[in-house]
Amino acid sequence: MVNSVAPRVESLATSGIQSIPKEYVRTIEEQTSITNTFEEEKKEEGPQVPTIDLKEIDSEDIKVREKCREELKKAAMDWGVMHLVNHGISDELLERVKKAGEVFFQQPVEEKEKYANDQETGKISGYGSKLANNASGQLEWEDYFFHLVFPEEKRDMSIWPKTPSDYIEATSEYAKQLRTLLTKILSILSIGLGLEEGRLEQEVGGMEELLLQMKINYYPKCPQPELALGVEAHTDVSALTFILHNMVPGLQLFYQGKWVTAKCVPNSIIMHIGDTIEILSNGKYKSILHRGLVNKEKVRISWAVFCEPPKEKIILKPLPEVVSEEEPALFPPRTFAQHIQHKLFRKTQEEFKN
């Protein structure tokens, strides 16, 4: 079914419009902080998203290994987002994944529509654009492709792109390698909280239940980038999120009261701590507010993999080991589904207030 609610953003962007439809114009308050993404990325002063080198993560030398793990833990506690380098996934595979996604999006919109999702009926996998699900009816300047990539037995291969021919192989291999990296990161974060190394992995569903959902975000060129956002300010609900991009800046993090633009670090994977790990750690690891800017000159594409616990099977709440009289639980017990509903409810309330 073709989404008749709003045209694809790509169709709008290539139609020759000089000004964007009002649904895409952000509030005056938001506009005051929207800046030129290329100029922002060049800035050297002020805080910068940390880069964590994972090369020594399993070093034989205990001192070297501990230093590397400590840096990761510190970045997770201070920022909740980081550029991972020497992460063990080859540059060649990352390039294949990116090339496959780019080629899929280079097809005409009519071709991509064959994969259209239908959010009204709850079919969220496939090609889509955001529907106005908020009180203000605001839209974001992006189209996307969304599908589950791991565990393999839970995938629906019927909605995976057939073009290009390498899409399935490259994306599957990347998901498999990312799953291994995920276990490693979760074990370091567990140890960082004084827990057994397998604990966080177990708490978010383990090999069988933790879902890896890929969302390729396609941000077309925008004639009025100072008025729009590719994605509005939010925190991820996931346990962890891993992001690749096509080296066009746009990601901004809200750190110490200011929007900080992430630099484009070659061959890195950006990693976010999501709400799920923030809750389990009782706020020791941060799920940082972030958003995406757009620009006039270049299409931006990012590949986000959200690592999510099962919707109903697990109760998310601060682990007993990280709670004490001095540090009481900051979050009430909720299933993952309830957490998502709670966020939507809060957002709607805030929009009605405004």
Active site residues: 215, 234, 236, 290
Place of tokens 């908020």: 134
Between the alpha carbon of residue 171 and those of residues 86, 124, 128, 235, the distances in Å are 20, 19, 19, 25
Between the alpha carbon of residue 292 and those of residues 31, 57, 191, 245, the distances in Å are 13, 30, 32, 12
213: which residues sit within 8 A by CB, 6+ positions away? 146, 147, 148, 149, 305, 306, 308
Using an 8 Å Cβ cutoff, are 221 and 295 in contact? yes
Angle between helices 91-106 and 167-192 (to 10 degrees): 130
- Cβ burial, residue 56 (10 Å; 0-12/13-18/19+): middle
